[in-house]
Amino acid sequence: MRLLRSAAFGAVVAVAGLAYYVQRRSAETGEGYLTIVRQLPAQARSLWDDARRRGLLALEEGRQAARMREEEVERQIAAAQRPERATT
């Protein structure tokens, strides 16, 4: 029963948020409610694609930074292991 109440509350919040978004967008653009609702799947797909692209880009940048840091650590370890030459 508690799960049903939670699901119902979530649905009410989602519908209220959607109604607010549609009303606000209609006021900003002058488009009709039905037009805005019809555009939602394409907008959601576009937002998903953009978030995915940005996530993959961030992941690749993080990997590149990690590789650079690893190379630097390896250079430091190699330099520390080299025997010092005595200068005379």
Residue extents of the structural domains in the chain: 2-81
- The pLDDT profile of the chain, 88 residues, written as one tens digit per residue, is 889 999 999 999 999 999 999 999 999 999 999 999 999 999 999 999 999 999 999 999 999 999 999 999 999 999 998 877 655 5
CA 29 to chain centre: 27
Predicted TM-score (pTM) of this structure: 0.57
Alpha-carbon span 70 to 88, nearest angstrom: 35
Alpha-carbon span 52 to 48, nearest angstrom: 6
Q: Is 30 left (phi over 0), alpha (psi -120 to 50) or beta?
A: left
